[in-house]
Amino acid sequence: MLLAVDIGNTNIVVALFHKDELVHEWRMYSDSKRTADEYSSILSSLMRDAGVTPSAISSAILSSVVPLLIGPFITVIERMTGSKPVIVGPAMYDKLPITLPESAVHEIGTDLVSNAVEAWCANKCPCIVVDFGTALTFTSINAAGDLLGVAICPGLRTAVNALFNNTAQLPSVPLEAPPDSIGTNTIHSIQAGIVLGYKGLVESLIAQTKSDMAKKSGCREEEIKVIATGGLNSVLKPITNVFQTVDKQLTLKGLNRIASFMGCKD
């Protein structure tokens, strides 16, 4: 099996693939203060509870947007598998089926590269990947597999936390749509501003991105497929129709696909 590790700013997602089937998935908090020993203990316990033995793992791939956690997880994976993982990064981008702008090669998050690889390989058409994470990102890929660029803004939970942490009387609220945009209590007022506000942000930015992609790459706007991923996409999914596809496991699938290009799949 392939062990895929996606380290984000809020969560670490670990998955096991047998060929192209995702057979196990676990989540834990990202904490750069934890040691390799601690993460080894957590992951070993999760695998043991699922009936998975390390000997079943033949290869591993690691993506991280938290530099301080790369070293500990290389150690975790080496202990578990006896070999180093493939690390997603600039050194291997020339082996991928997509191309990146030269100015972005050393800056773009490896999770966004994984998203772009899976979106383009699975659809072979112009795509916008909207990833609802700690940051809300919009990654554009044209029909030829060129990653054109990315738009980044604070994620939904990040926005709520900023409001809660920087005001004296506003509480942290559940991320769900209010009855309407005219809040009659504090919770509904914040939900109207954040959830409905982000609905407008997402719809507006997708429309603008489609227009810009059409100008830059010559595609028709109606050809562009919009794919949502990330844990918080479910907040907006019920109140907008701008997503053709929702795939919470897009990043993991991208890592599995990248592993195949690097020759490390089982």
Instruction: Name the DSSP class of 181.
Output: S
Task: State which H helix or E strand residue 136 sits in.
Answer: strand 135-141
**CA distance readout (Å), 101 to 52, 113, 141:** 40, 12, 11
Q: In what order do the strands lie in the sheet with 2-7?
A: 21-29, 11-18, 2-7, 59-64, 86-87
CA dist., res. 33 & res. 224, Å (int): 41
Is 146 a residue of the active site?
Answer: no
Residue with tokens 């040691």: 35
DSSP notation for 210-239: HHHHHHHH---GGG-EEEEESTTHHHHGGG
Length of the chain: 266
Residue 88: φ, ψ to 5°: -70, 125
Which position among 6, 20, 111, 266 bears the catalytic label?
A: 111
User: Could you tell me which of 10, 115, 114 has the C-alpha nearest to residue 69?
Assistant: 10
Q: How many other CB atoms are there within 10 angstroms of residue 226's CB atom? A: 20
Q: Which residues are catalytic?
A: 111
